[in-house]
Amino acid sequence: MHPIMRHRGRRVEIRDCHGRVHRGVVDGFSSGGVFLRSAFSVVFIPFFAIVFFFPF
């Protein structure tokens, strides 16, 4: 189990390997990444691209 899976339904901030910051609610998971829901869209972020994870 990936450590981010504990935060399903909670607001988080994720920084990816390209320097982009994604903020939203952890919406779901697949075998390769996390789905992050913001006010405007749902974004898939692969686990290998996550550099920084911060729940708030």
Instruction: Say which residues have a Cβ less than 8 Å from residue 20's Cβ, sequence separation at least 6.
Output: none
Q: How many angstroms separate the CA atoms of 37 and 27, rounded? A: 6
- Under a CB-based contact definition with an 8 Å cutoff, are residues 29 and 50 in contact? no
Show pLDDT as tens, one digit a residue, over the chain (56 residues): 678 888 999 999 999 999 999 999 999 998 899 999 998 899 999 999 999 999 98
Burial class (CB in 10 A: 0-12, 13-18, 19+), 18: exposed
* pTM assigned to the model: 0.85
